[in-house]
Structure 1
Amino acid sequence: MQEYSNGSPAASIDAAWTKSRKSTANGQCVELASLPGGKVAVRNSTDPAGPALIFEPAEFDAFLDGARNREFDHLIAR
């Protein structure tokens, strides 16, 4: 089983990448991929070969909880 770490080239990650249906037509969004062991990889869709962030299951769960609770709304550009 391949082990990935933060900064791994996203192009080297053999996984199905998913992006939000709210993604803009020019592809400016983040994409996520499920990895073994419940880890999640995140990459910039405009640089699909660039570095990926790799999150442990608990880290990603904490992020999703914060997003659901609107803890990051102040970061949205308006």
Structure 2
Amino acid sequence: MKVRVTVMPKIGVLDPQGKAIGHALGELGFAGVGEVLTGKVIELDLAETDPAAARATAEAMARRLLANTVIESFRVEVA
């Protein structure tokens, strides 16, 4: 079963890469770009066939390894 985990910085956490991208977009002439946040997307192919169990497994993976839950939040999507 395909699972996608999206990890993003929590609100209020400094994101220097996002700031750099936002600045570069302005320098390239893209006006009107507000705050830019960078994150990561992890796609997993799990052997699990039950969607609820796949979600629970992916959430456990995110809490233990994929996201630093002190400064990042995550979202799990099951396909």
Normalised by the length of structure 1, the TM-score is: 0.22
Q: Which has the higher strand share?
A: 2
Which has more radius of gyration? 2
Write 1 or 2 for the structure with the bigger share of helix: 2
Per the normalisation by structure 2, the TM-score is: 0.22
**Taking CA–CA contacts closer than 8 Å with sequence separation of 6 or more, which of the two structures ends up with the larger relative contact order?**
2
